Amino acid sequence: MDKLDEHLWSREDLRHLNDESTVIKRKKRYAEAYAAGLPMTRWPERYDTYDLAISGFCHTQPHLQDLLQSIPQLTDEWLQAHIMKNERMAESYEQWIVFPFLKLDLPYELAKTLALRLQEAGAWANYIPSIYREPQIPLSEALLMAEPIIMEQHKRVIPNEPLGPVKLVEWLWTPYWLLGTFSRALYEQNYLYAYIDKVDGHIWTRDEQQLYSREGKLD
């Protein structure tokens, strides 16, 4: 019940209020990350066009009507299938999970707006520079870059325990390679990780990785 006029709030009202609160917190978190110099916060200064990576479908139909003129591709059946889960999507799920980009090349602010609309409908959607669709740092090079990083962690955490080879832990839609090596001595998680940027090769810190993940979903 509203504290001023005593009207009853609907679930939609509460969800909208929660989304607004989340966006405010997100802006504050992003501003702090920018001040700290996290590389992904410099994307607008470095890249002109952006795509969206979808790792979770919309639960409801997103509000996109006012964006159709700026993004006519939103009417495309293929793109719609990558936004809303349906029977056709199930047939091509394996291909989608490997390459979940919408194949758009949008200005930064427009990509950011589209991502937020999809997130409001329940999707997990990240806007990402279009150049990341094709990694500039090949996996073979990323593995070589990751090895000294992981060995340094090994010395600090479990110096006397044997490790397996450094390898790709999992293929992800993220802008970084997730590489690691296995050790049974690690009880909470069995891998030591390194996150290597797929375009410029910089090492993603845990703070940057978490910022990217949180930017993809309203929660």
Q: What is the dihedral of CA 164, 165, 170, 174, to 10 degrees?
A: 120
Tell me the mean pLDDT in the region 19-32.
77
- Domain ranges for the chain, please list them: 40-133, 139-198
Q: Report yes or no: 191 and 180 within 8 Å, Cβ to Cβ.
A: yes
The whole-number pLDDT of residue 17 equals 42
What DSSP element (H or E) covers 50? strand 50-56
Tell me the pLDDT tens digit for each residue of 103-121: 999 999 999 999 999 999 9
pLDDT (mean) for 156-177:
80
114 within 8 A of 71, measured Cβ to Cβ: yes
Per-residue pLDDT tens over the stretch 113-150: 999 999 999 999 999 999 999 999 999 999 999 999 98
